[in-house]
């Protein structure tokens, strides 16, 4: 979901995604950067993201990922699901006091 | 075909993945460089941040998902790579498998095609020979031949048979380009072609009309005769053959496999063919063999009972043709032709099974060694996150690759082996048998090998995978306990292998000794330079003994002018292969209860020098004895010893009881013994005792044909054509039967089977020994590797290399020794079954039982010497550091 959310911002390549994750989570997730790629490929295989080979700003070929229509739907449903879940958790936490 | 397209796109995808990940690394590195790190340090940090590159790739591949084809190709590639890393292991395993598959298939194919289903006939399983057994007389076979009216009765009155065919031999004289040649023919009832169900190769078969009275005479010729007499000329159809002075038209050629009766030609005979009024050379067909095609799902017993009812009716009309109490029998056709060679093949099957055991235990032991050597690798890969199923799959593929290679080589071996066997002239196998590859057997052998390989290939893998990874990683590398049990299993396998090859060696050793006993066999005469030919006189000529004697003398005077010829004789038997015999003799003053079995021969005066018999007492037969048909006899030393108690034999009277049963021999005739000659041993393994022998003038015999023996110092087969020519010059109507030399006869009837046994058992033993040695070598090499540490410590503590050598060899000796003991013990219990296959050698032949273990011990120790030598070269420091 995290990755989908980042990719939703527009065509972006793998390295940039990993930088974004680190940046956003403020190094909260201590994962090897490499493990991002299997996840990306899984998403691609499921048809939620698609990829294109384009030139970067520095003139190098890189694989840019962007969200597909299906991916957007998936992201929305996951967000919804997550919100419900976190609402429920917050509710339990607040009433249990 | 989406999966296929994906498969093709795979290479591109891989390249893209590579560049995508490289791009990431580059970016990260540049970021570090920008932050002020050195190029190398930046690269290192980038790699650390990224984590395992290959692992990531692998996970990406998994994420993408692989289809079946990709998985197979990848596993195959991996398997091949693993096998290439151990070419020795792969080669030995493949060869062991191939030998197992190849040999089993060859032997079982020979057995199946040679003995179970050797015939080309339709429904051969349901064919049986009709016979009469004399139940009142020890259930002896009474006869298996019938008059045609009997066969017609069987054919028309039965309820259980589809059809009955009758056939018999017809030895006709074939006049061709002025030379008379005897041919072996066969006459068949008109239903024969449909009955046997074998269509002719060329032309047409015989039918009802050919057998009718007044039909133009026709014959079918056999493939062998077509080849030898007509050189496979397709224009043979319509040719006239002069048989017994009558012209027969050749209407067809039978295929190669049709060899009924071993005949040169086949002629039709009508069902109503009358019984010949008197015995005549031209039409000797009185009795016929009868073969029945039993209806499907009818047992032999039911068919026999059915025939019994018919035969009971026939018996009432012809009392003398049937025993008082008898039983009709239907015997399967293939059972009729089986002889002692079947036992050879059964033994050979046993030997091959032993071989198969050795080779499969070798494969098992190899795989075990291989996998324990790889246990560390497997554990490492499991630790690095390789999936268990994936590991198993890869090991499976590797074993499969091995098995497939072995199977392919095995099939090739089986095919080539059978081609070789086909070249061997019929070793007791019916001539009609076709030694083709038996596909079900091959399939079975292949399946068995596949399963063996997979089982042994996979079980260590499962074990290795299942084991706790940590202990596994720890234990491997030293002389660990975990691997000790593996060594024990392998040691057990090797002891088994040595024992089995010991057994095979003993078998082969006995066969070798037996073969040499046969070839060294001294019959008491020279077996070289002797030629025999049967002389057949035409009907109604040469009726008087004087004429026949004059003829032989004319032949002798001419043949003795040929270079090399030293003697010629008239005789009936062919010493030392055999000859006529009588069950009993009568000697006045020597009453006896038992039968006095005696061989005899009807000879002329030239017989003794021709054969090379030495006179011991009295005199030989003189020309006057022979010319005057005097009742005198020369006997062998053994006859004097056995039946005359070594008393002076000269002047004693002797009567050959079998003469009384033959119309053309003098009845109640006593012969006076005039001389004693040395004994001749017969080439017959079943008759170890010397047979007492007597020789009387052939002129006492009123019958017509005789055979002539020619002794030459040159190659006697060169005499064949001159002899034919001499006889044709004297009288073209006299027929010379196929002349044969004693050496050829010995080769064919005496030496061939021992030679076949020698070669086949020798090959089995040799291969078995080789495989056992490989197994021994493997186990010793492996255990030396495992003990490297221990040996290093010993050497560090001051052990001399020779001590180490003894230490290792003592272990080897223990393995070999227990294997040999086990093998010898087994052979003590099993060699008895070889008895019938042996010739002049005891199954407990001391030479074999001493030399075979000694040889095995020697080569076994040699096989262990290399690993032992390696053990002495262990560098103590390296061995200790190895830990």
pLDDT tens per residue, range B645-658: 888 888 889 988 88
> Residue A34: which of B19, B26, B50 has the nearest Cβ?
B50
Per-residue pLDDT, averaged over A42-68, amounts to 79
pTM, to two decimals: 0.62
- Residue B281: what pLDDT? 42
- Number of CB atoms found within 10 A of residue B723's CB: 24
The answer to whether residues B292 and B153 touch, using CB atoms and an 8 Å cutoff, is: no
Q: Do A34 and B20 touch (CB under 8 A)?
A: no
Tell whether the model's pLDDT for residue B251 goes beyond 90.
Answer: yes
What does the pLDDT look like over A10-27, one tens digit per residue? 778 878 887 777 777 766
Q: Does the ipTM surpass 0.90?
A: no
| Sequence-separated contacts (24+) of B435-442 with Cβ below 8 Å | B435/B109, B435/B110, B435/B113, B435/B114, B436/B109, B436/B113, B437/B105, B437/B109, B438/B105, B438/B108, B438/B109, B438/B112, B438/B113, B441/B104, B441/B105, B441/B108, B441/B109, B441/B112, B442/B101, B442/B105, B442/B109, B442/B411, B442/B414
Picking from B24, B26, B60, the nearest residue to A38 by CB comes out as B60
pLDDT at B872 over 80: no
Contact B24 A61 (CB under 8 A): no
* pLDDT for residue B634: 93
The minimal CB distance from B65 to the residues A14, A45, A53 is found for: A45
Give the CA distances from residue B762 to residues B24, B587, B754, in Å, rounded to whole numbers and listed in that order.
68, 50, 11
**What does the pLDDT look like over B827-863, one tens digit per residue?**
888 877 777 777 777 778 888 888 888 888 888 888 7
Mean pLDDT throughout B507-517?
84
For range B273-279, the mean pLDDT: 48
> Per the CB < 8 Å rule, is A37 touching B23?
no
The CA distances from residue B4 to B17, B156, B185, B853, in Å, are 20, 68, 66, 60
Alpha carbons B254 and B203: distance in angstroms, whole number: 9
Residue B761 has pLDDT above 50, yes or no: yes
The length of chain A in residues reads 97
Give B-chain residues touching A42 at CB under 8 angstroms: 63
Give the Cα separation of B101 and B407 in Å (integer): 7
Which chain B residues touch A63 with a CB distance below 8 Å? 16, 20, 23
Q: Give B319's Cβ-side CA count (13 Å radius).
A: 0
What would the two tokens of residue A82 be? 């997550």
Measured distance CA(B459)–CA(B587) in Å, rounded: 78
CA A33-A34-A36 angle, to 5 degrees, is 75
Cα(B173)–Cα(B343) distance, rounded to whole angstroms? 38
Paired tokens of B813: 């000796």
The count of C-alpha atoms lying within 13 angstroms of the C-alpha of B656, restricted to the half-sphere facing its C-beta, is 30
Q: What confidence category does residue B424 fall into, taking pLDDT thresholds of 50, 70 and 90? A: low
Instruction: Select the more confidently predicted residue: B488 or B282.
Output: B488
Q: Is the pLDDT of residue A71 over 90?
A: no
Of A42-46, B59-63, B720-724, the one with minimum mean pLDDT is B59-63
* Strand positions, DSSP E, B657-739: 670-677, 693-697, 706-712, 735-736
Higher pLDDT, B743 or B578: B743
Backbone angles phi, psi at B400, to 5 degrees: -60, -45
Whether residue B571 is predicted with pLDDT greater than 70 in this model: the reply is yes
Helix (H, G, I), strand (E, B) or coil at B737: coil
> Chain A residues with CB inside 8 Å of B19's CB?
61
CB B600 within 8 A of CB B571: no
Distance from C-alpha of B449 to C-alpha of B98, rounded to nearest angstrom: 9
Percentage with pLDDT > 90 across chain B: 6
In whole angstroms, give the CA distance from residue A75 to residue A2.
Answer: 9
Which residues fall within 8 angstroms of residue B392, CB to CB, at 6 or more apart? B458, B461, B462, B465
User: What is the rounded distance in angstroms from the CA atom of residue B636 to the CA atom of residue B681?
Assistant: 11
The CA distance from B274 to B263, in Å, is 23
């Amino acid at each position: 979901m995290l990755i989908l959310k980042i990719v939703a911002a527009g065509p972006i390549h793998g390295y940039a995604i990993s930088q974004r994750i680190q940046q956003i989570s403020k190094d909260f997730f201590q994962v090897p950067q490499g493990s991002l790629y299997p996840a990306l490929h899984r998403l691609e295989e499921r048809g939620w993201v698609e990829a294109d080979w384009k030139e970067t700003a520095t003139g190098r070929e890189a694989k840019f990922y962007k969200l597909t229509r299906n991916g957007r739907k998936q992201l929305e449903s996951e967000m919804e699901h997550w919100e419900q879940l976190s609402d429920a958790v917050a509710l339990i936490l607040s009433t249990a006091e | 075909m989406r999966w296929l397209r994906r498969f093709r796109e795979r290479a591109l995808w891989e390249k893209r993945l590579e560049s995508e990940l490289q791009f990431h690394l580059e970016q990260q590195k540049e970021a570090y460089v920008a932050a002020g790190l050195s190029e190398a340090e930046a690269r290192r940090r980038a790699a650390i941040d990224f984590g395992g590159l290959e692992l990531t790739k692998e996970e990406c591949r998994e994420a993408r998902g692989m289809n079946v084809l990709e998985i197979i190709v990848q596993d195959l590639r991996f398997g091949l790579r693993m096998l290439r890393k151990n070419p020795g292991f792969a080669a030995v395993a493949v060869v062991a498998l191939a030998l197992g598959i190849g040999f089993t298939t060859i032997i079982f194919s020979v057995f199946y095609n040679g003995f179970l289903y050797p015939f080309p006939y339709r429904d051969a399983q349901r064919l049986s020979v009709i016979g009469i057994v004399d139940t009142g007389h020890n259930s002896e076979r009474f006869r298996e031949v019938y008059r045609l009216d009997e066969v017609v009765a069987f054919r028309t009155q039965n309820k259980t048979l589809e059809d009955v065919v009758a056939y018999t031999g017809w030895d006709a004289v074939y006049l061709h380009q002025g030379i008379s040649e005897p041919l072996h023919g066969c006459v068949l009832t008109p239903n024969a072609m449909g009955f046997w169900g074998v269509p002719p190769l060329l032309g047409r078969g015989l039918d009802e009309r050919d057998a009718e009275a007044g039909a133009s005479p026709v014959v079918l010729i056999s493939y062998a005769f077509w080849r030898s007499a007509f050189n496979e000329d397709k224009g043979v159809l319509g040719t006239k053959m002069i048989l017994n002075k009558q012209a027969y038209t050749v209407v067809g050629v039978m295929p190669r496999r049709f060899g009924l009766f071993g005949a040169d030609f086949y002629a039709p005979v009508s069902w109503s063919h009358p019984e010949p009024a008197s015995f005549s050379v031209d039409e000797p067909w009185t009795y016929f063999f009868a073969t029945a095609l039993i209806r499907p799902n009818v047992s032999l017993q039911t068919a026999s009972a059915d025939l019994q009812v018919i035969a009971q009716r026939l018996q009432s009309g012809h009392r003398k043709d049937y025993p008082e109490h008898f039983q009709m029998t239907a015997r399967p056709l293939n059972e009729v032709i089986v002889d002692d060679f079947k036992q050879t093949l059964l033994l050979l099957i046993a030997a091959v099974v032993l071989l198969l055991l050795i080779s499969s235990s070798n494969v098992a032991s190899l795989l075990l060694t291989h996998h324990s050597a790889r246990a560390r690798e497997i554990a490492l890969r499991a630790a690095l996150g390789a999936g268990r199923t994936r590991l198993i799959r890869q090991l499976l593929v590797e074993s499969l690759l091995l098995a497939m290679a072995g199977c392919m080589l095995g099939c090739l071996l089986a095919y080539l082996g059978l081609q070789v066997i086909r070249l061997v002239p019929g070793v007791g196998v019916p001539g009609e048998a076709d030694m083709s590859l038996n596909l079900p057997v091959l399939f079975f052998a292949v399946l068995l090998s596949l399963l063996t390989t997979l089982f042994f290939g996979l079980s260590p893998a499962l074990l290795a995978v299942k084991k706790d990874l940590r202990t596994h990683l720890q234990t491997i590398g030293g002389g660990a306990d975990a691997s000790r049990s593996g060594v024990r299993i392998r040691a057990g396998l090797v002891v088994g292998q040595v024992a089995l090859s010991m057994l095979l060696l003993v078998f082969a050793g006995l066969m070798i000794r037996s073969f040499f006993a046969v070839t060294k066999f001294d019959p008491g005469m020279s077996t070289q330079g002797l030629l025999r030919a049967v002389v057949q006189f035409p009907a109604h000529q040469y009726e008087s003994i004087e004429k026949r004697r004059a003829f032989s003398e004319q032949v002798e005077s001419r043949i003795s002018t040929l270079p090399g010829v030293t003697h010629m004789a008239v005789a009936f038997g062919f010493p030392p292969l055999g000859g006529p015999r009588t069950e009993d003799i009568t000697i006045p003053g020597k009453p006896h209860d038992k039968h006095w079995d005696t061989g005899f021969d009807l000879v002329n005066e030239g017989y003794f020098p021709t054969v090379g018999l030495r006179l011991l007492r009295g005199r030989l037969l003189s020309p006057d004895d022979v010319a005057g048909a005097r009742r005198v006899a020369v006997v062998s030393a053994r006859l004097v010893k056995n039946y005359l108690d070594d008393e002076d034999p000269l002047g004693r009277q002797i009567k050959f009881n079998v003469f009384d049963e033959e119309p053309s021999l003098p009845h109640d005739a006593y012969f006076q013994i005039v001389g004693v000659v040395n004994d001749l041993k017969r080439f017959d393994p079943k008759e170890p005792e010397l047979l007492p022998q007597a020789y009387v003038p052939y002129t006492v015999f009123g019958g017509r044909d005789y055979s002539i023996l020619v002794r030459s110092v040159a190659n006697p087969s060169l005499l064949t054509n001159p002899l034919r020519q001499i006889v044709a010059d004297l009288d073209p109507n006299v027929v010379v039967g196929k002349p044969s030399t004693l050496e050829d006869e010995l080769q064919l009837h005496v030496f061939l089977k021992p030679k076949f046994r020698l070669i086949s058992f020798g090959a089995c033993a040799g291969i078995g020994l080789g495989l056992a040695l490989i197994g021994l070598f493997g186990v010793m090499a492996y255990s030396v590797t495992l003990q490297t540490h221990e040996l290093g410590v010993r050497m560090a503590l001051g052990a001399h290399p020779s001590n180490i050598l003894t230490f290792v060899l003592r272990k080897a000796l223990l393995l070999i020794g227990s294997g040999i003991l086990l093998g010898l013990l087994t052979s003590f219990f099993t060699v008895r079954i070889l008895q019938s296959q042996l010739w002049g050698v005891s199954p407990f032949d001391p030479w074999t039982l001493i030399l075979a273990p000694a040889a095995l011990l020697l080569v076994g120790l040699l096989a262990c010497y290399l690993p032992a030598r390696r053990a002495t070269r262990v560098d103590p420091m390296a061995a200790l550091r190895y830990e």
